Amino acid sequence: SYLKRKKGSRIHGKIAKSRIDFDNYSQLKALIHDFQPDVIGIRTLTYYRNFFHQAVKMIRQWDITVPVIAGGPYSSSDYETIMEDPHVDLAVLGEGDVTFFELMDAIDQNNGKLPDIEVLEKINGIAFRRHMGHTQTTGNIKDSQRDAAIPVGFNDDLDDE
């Protein structure tokens, strides 16, 4: 992935897919507790929106407090609904490779916590809640950044779970 190419060994990620890596919420809970992520990113389609919202609700009920970031087609097409969910911290819009990298950098520089609004406003391609619960979006990623995010090969680092 773009993030893995840029960060190298400084990042350790895991991709888990429902019905492949877990079949129920208990297995999802065990997977998260075993891995101990600093950030949870969830990519989903609009078709699975109910499962998505139930899963993030359960994650918060399990006292998992790391940032939860939504991405994928549902996030891009209906970020307003996603940002109404109090269990989601922010949404990545559109092609998110460069945006997610910049977001991870900002979180890393803020000791694993979401940065302040002033920092988030400088990251293109996200939606987040401002004061009083209003959703704010930032600009699209630049075309030059979009080109940089296009993967060189299809199998790039996918087996490094």
pLDDT at 128: 93
Going through 50-139 in order, the beta strands assigned E by DSSP cover 68-71, 90-92, 126-129, 135-137
**Which pair of tokens denotes residue 85?**
């969910």
This prediction's pTM = 0.82
* pLDDT lower than 70: segments of the chain: 131-132, 140-161
pLDDT at 62: 97
For the chain, state the CA radius of gyration.
15
Tens of pLDDT along 24-51? 999 999 999 999 999 999 999 999 999 9
Tens of pLDDT along 44-64? 999 999 999 999 999 999 999
Residue pair 100/92 in contact (Cβ under 8 Å)? The answer is: yes
Residue 127 CB: number of other CB atoms within 10 A?
21
Residue pair 93/79 in contact (Cβ under 8 Å)? The answer is: yes
pLDDT at 150: 41
Beta partners for 90?
A: 69, 128
